[in-house]
Structure 1
Amino acid sequence: MVNKPKKIHFIGIGGVGMSGIALVAKSRGVEVSGSDMKESRATKRLVDAGVEVMIGHDAANLADDLDAVVISSAIPERNPELAAARKRGIPVWHRSQALASLGEGKKTLACAGTHGKTTTSSMLATTIDRMGLDPSFVIGGTVDGYDTNAKSGTGEYYIVEADESDGSFVHLSPHVALVTNIEPDHLDHYGSLEAIYDAFADFLSLLPDDGAAVVCADNPRLAQVARGVGKRTIVYGEKGSADCDVCFEVTGRRGLGYAFTVSFPDGTSVETEITKNPGRHNVLNATGVLGVVWACGLDVAQAARALATFSGVRRRFDLVGEEGGVVVVDDYAHHPTEIRATIEAASKLDFNHVHVLFQPHRYSRTESLAREFGPAFDEADSIIVMDVYPAGETPIPGITGKTVIDSILRHNPRQQVAWLPHRPEIIPFLLQRLSAGDLIITMGAGDVTAMAPLLTHALAGE
């Protein structure tokens, strides 16, 4: 890591990004400690790895001989540990700086974009690892088959999820950057879509002369941005898409997903499949992964075989249980585009009805994307909306879960919707409406995930 520190402390170590960085740093011989407000699966994994984790934030948690303190953008200046670190003159690094430093001496393969970056980076890490190349990776989700979001390998590749939410992804030094899409999000930070495009241009400008930008054909402006900063650009998409270099063609259904062929600019083509991740968007993600492999000069046939073993990411169309013929799935989708893609994929599966329990995430996002939420739920048979998960934000007057309900009904007055802001009423409401052959998706980036196992137990009569 930067200046090769021997001892570092993470404030908010239980966060999915922070915990991954801490695990990799620990595995590389750094003495790691950290604090968080509560115990979690992530903090338990850290403790099992030999990391000292303290519950609660207190200046006394900082050791006397720290070389650095790592924070995320979620940590306010008033945090007692951060205030103490500044007072003592301990170097304070942003999470993204620590993430970047772990890639020193390796080729960083960075997956970015408004949507799909966790799934895509997980696909890429699984593929590179199962090609026998032993990569390191730090990802914003738990990868199925690894039961972790981070790994320190001996190989030359370092795979990261590049988070654009606060603009800090410009601290990375990518060798190849995959960008899935760009849409309005995190407008509380950027202010406008143009500012987001500018940030991605800055990010892609970091690529070296022998690197590459791998960008999706569904967003033509992405290729313009990449070429505008003078970088080698590889466009991936569906066969027939304009300007497509690495192109997929679906050949049939496989499990929840699809079998498909992918062709490359040199005339090579491979066959592969994604069986546990429904939807065209996941075929696109997989095609982008093979585009990165091709850009690196690796064996695409071997990669296609490795990619076919990918089984998913926790909270991405994650099967929680099935009771009484009702299937319960949990999903992280919280932006209208993600919501639409997930529900459309579910609607193509063999269920009688698709129901969605949705928790809006952040007041600012609910306000800025209110209009877009309406059509996002078109393919759902019914939608139950909880109140907003604040994620640390101050409430905005007039912005609640009902904001989403109103948007849905303006778009489709006949849609079956319910606003249930009081959590105790949700399970009884669902039990009255779900029947054998139905799918229910708990959806959102907040604590709605806790409702999925509760509902599964309730369906079982427990």
Structure 2
Amino acid sequence: MRIPIPDEILPADRLGRVHFIGIGGAGLSAIARIMARSGVEVSGSDDQDTPFLPALRELGVTCHLGYSADHVAGADTVVVTTAAREDNVEVAEARRLGLRVLPRSAGLAATMAGRRVLAVAGTHGKTTTTGLLTSALLAAGSDPTYAVGGVLTATGRNADAGTDDLFVAEADESDGAFLVYRPHAAIVTNVEADHLDNWGTEEAYHAAFDEFAATIDRAGFLVCCVDDPGAAALAATARDAGLEVITAGEGEGCDVRITDLVLDGTTSTSRITRDGVELGQLRLRIPGRHYVLDAAAALATGLRLGFAFHDLTDGLAAFTGTGRRMELKGEAAGVRVYDSYAHHHVEIAGDLQAARAVAGDGRLVVAFQPHLVSRTRIFGEQMGRALGAADEVVVLDVYLAREEADPAVTGALVADAVPLPAERVQLVPDFDAVPAELVRRARPGDVILTLGAGSITQLGAPILALLEERDA
């Protein structure tokens, strides 16, 4: 559902009682937590009991399961998830009552009033980079407010209200939300076409990032991971417009440069230079080159803010990830099971590269659930090709999310494009049959990796249970 952004976004303490429609999602639950921790009276509803709700209930937030017009009673402001359907009864009741109705972006912007916002944007890597920056700042003695699109394993939360003036926020481009925040500074990890159901064309998508850079405070700065061509182009445009731009990456011309990178299973080490001067070593406890690039961007931001290198790198070294980003779900029968949010072909390629290092001498057995009809229609063939880096592949049907089904767009578009022998690729439309198919294919020493932004994240426990049964 598209809710218009008001011309004036009031600070959270002027919104009265706030009710969240879709409070169980990563985005709205983060906003609700920050508001509740800041003294705002908060309630919410969702159609499912998500992992984000217990922490809200601990704060005294009433979280209804299911939607009812009665839940809106007593609210002054309603914040609505983009995933809400047009016929949602709570939205209809809020409009009937003449309440203030805000989209997610305006709700988050309301919590930013009076703070220096550090916005983390990009097609891929936003959640991890937001978590890395938060971890680095906390280790350096800051106490920022933060809102992340996943649960930080170190804190068990996806958001909190801090005591200083910094606000680290994941800035989502999918629906244009990132154009609302007016940050002091920003990170852009990469820019590669996605969410074309909203933007229409690749050109419009890239132009949105140019517009985002133009919203940054002229006294602030932009950090770009310029190993990515889209981010490099954005850096050049922003610099031409007079904005301070800091580049990060492995290239020789980067302001903050990664050298001597060594990937070793679930860890990595590298050397960091700034403006040609070596600062020291960066160690990470998360696998993959793409995460090292994310960490370099977070480090560049912290350094520009005046924090000490070794304090920042201590925080980065302590970072163990966020939920659904190469998250270890467990091990049974000699098989490790990981889950990751990758749903774009570039993300798939990055996570499979990292998972290959984790698997070592074992094989990589991957299940992928395409997310959104529009994305699968446009990128399904590229997703399939990226999955060819695995040893065994199981493809689920499309997770519909906010779109209607299209009989011409199914998981077969992905499965048919996987460049592996037919016996190593299987389309499994029956969701409940996927765990058994994965376990049938897995051997001791292998890694099973579930990929996708939808319900596939629920499969870790049943996969592990079947592996334990096989080992009994």
Q: TM-score, with normalisation over the residues of structure 2?
A: 0.93
The answer on whether the counterparts of 1:111 and 1:121 sit within 8 Å (CA) in structure 2 is yes
SS at match of 1:407: coil
After superposition, the Cα gap between the structure-2 partners of 1:429 and 1:268, relative to the gap in structure 1 and judged at 3 Å, is closer
SS at match of 1:115: coil
Runs of 4+ that moved beyond 4 A: 412-415
Which of 214, 222, 246 is the matching residue for 1:234? Answer: 246
In the alignment, structure 1 segments of 5+ residues that lack a partner are: none
CA distance in 2, matches of 1:374, 1:189: 23
Deviations, residues 240-264 of structure 1 (Å, cap 9, x unaligned): 3xx4111011354455121111111
Deviation, structure 1 residue 77:
3.5
Indicate whether 1:309 and 2:318 are aligned: yes
CA distance in 2, matches of 1:444, 1:164: 18
CA distance in 2, matches of 1:427, 1:351: 23
CA distance in 2, matches of 1:3, 1:431: 51
Q: Which moved more, 1:2-11 or 1:83-92?
A: 2-11
CA distance in 1, matches of 2:466, 2:247: 47
Deviations, residues 167-196 of structure 1 (Å, cap 9, x unaligned): 121110211100001111100000111111
1:321 aligned partner, one-letter code? G
Indicate whether 1:5 and 2:5 are aligned: no
Indicate whether 1:430 and 2:438 are aligned: yes
Deviation, structure 1 residue 2:
4.6
Q: Which moved more, 1:79-88 or 1:217-226?
A: 217-226
CA distance in 1, matches of 2:394, 2:442: 12
CA distance in 1, matches of 2:72, 2:33: 19
The percentage of counterpart residues that share the same residue type is: 38
1:89 aligned partner, one-letter code? G
Indicate whether 1:61 and 2:71 are aligned: yes
Which of 414, 439, 447 is the matching residue for 2:447? Answer: 439
What corresponds to 2:425 in structure 1? 417
1:256 aligned partner, one-letter code? T
After superposition, the Cα gap between the structure-2 partners of 1:280 and 1:415, relative to the gap in structure 1 and judged at 3 Å, is farther
Deviations, residues 8-47 of structure 1 (Å, cap 9, x unaligned): 1111111111001001100111000111112222222211
The answer on whether the counterparts of 2:266 and 2:357 sit within 8 Å (CA) in structure 1 is no
Deviations, residues 274-311 of structure 1 (Å, cap 9, x unaligned): 12x11110110000001111221222232112211111
Indicate whether 1:91 and 2:100 are aligned: yes
Which of 427, 445, 459 is the matching residue for 1:451? Answer: 459
The answer on whether the counterparts of 2:120 and 2:170 sit within 8 Å (CA) in structure 1 is yes
Indicate whether 1:335 and 2:344 are aligned: yes
SS at match of 1:308: helix
Q: How many residues align?
A: 456
Which of 251, 254, 257 is the matching residue for 1:244? Answer: 254
The answer on whether the counterparts of 1:201 and 1:229 sit within 8 Å (CA) in structure 2 is no
Which of 7, 26, 43 is the matching residue for 1:33? Answer: 43
- Pairwise mapping of residues 277-316 of structure 1 onto structure 2 (< 5 A)? 277-316=286-325
Deviations, residues 184-229 of structure 1 (Å, cap 9, x unaligned): 1100000111111111111111111221110011222121232243
What corresponds to 1:258 in structure 2? 268
The answer on whether the counterparts of 1:332 and 1:445 sit within 8 Å (CA) in structure 2 is yes
Deviations, residues 299-343 of structure 1 (Å, cap 9, x unaligned): 223211221111111111111111111111111111000000000
Indicate whether 1:124 and 2:136 are aligned: no
- Pairwise mapping of residues 9-408 of structure 1 onto structure 2 (< 5 A)? 9-64=19-74, 66-218=75-227, 219=229, 220-240=232-252, 243-253=253-263, 256-265=266-275, 267=277, 269-275=279-285, 277-349=286-358, 350-408=360-418
CA distance in 1, matches of 2:440, 2:91: 49
CA distance in 1, matches of 2:122, 2:449: 24
After superposition, the Cα gap between the structure-2 partners of 1:7 and 1:307, relative to the gap in structure 1 and judged at 3 Å, is same
CA distance in 2, matches of 1:197, 1:425: 39
After superposition, the Cα gap between the structure-2 partners of 1:80 and 1:200, relative to the gap in structure 1 and judged at 3 Å, is same
CA distance in 1, matches of 2:345, 2:19: 36
The answer on whether the counterparts of 1:114 and 1:185 sit within 8 Å (CA) in structure 2 is yes
The answer on whether the counterparts of 1:352 and 1:438 sit within 8 Å (CA) in structure 2 is yes
The answer on whether the counterparts of 1:245 and 1:264 sit within 8 Å (CA) in structure 2 is yes
Deviations, residues 365-387 of structure 1 (Å, cap 9, x unaligned): 11011231132123211111011
Deviations, residues 382-403 of structure 1 (Å, cap 9, x unaligned): 1110111111311123111111
SS at match of 1:450: helix
Deviation, structure 1 residue 267:
2.7
2:455 aligned partner, one-letter code? D
Q: CA RMSD in A?
A: 1.7
The answer on whether the counterparts of 1:270 and 1:304 sit within 8 Å (CA) in structure 2 is no
The answer on whether the counterparts of 1:13 and 1:34 sit within 8 Å (CA) in structure 2 is yes
Deviation, structure 1 residue 427:
2.8
SS at match of 2:237: helix
CA distance in 1, matches of 2:432, 2:168: 41
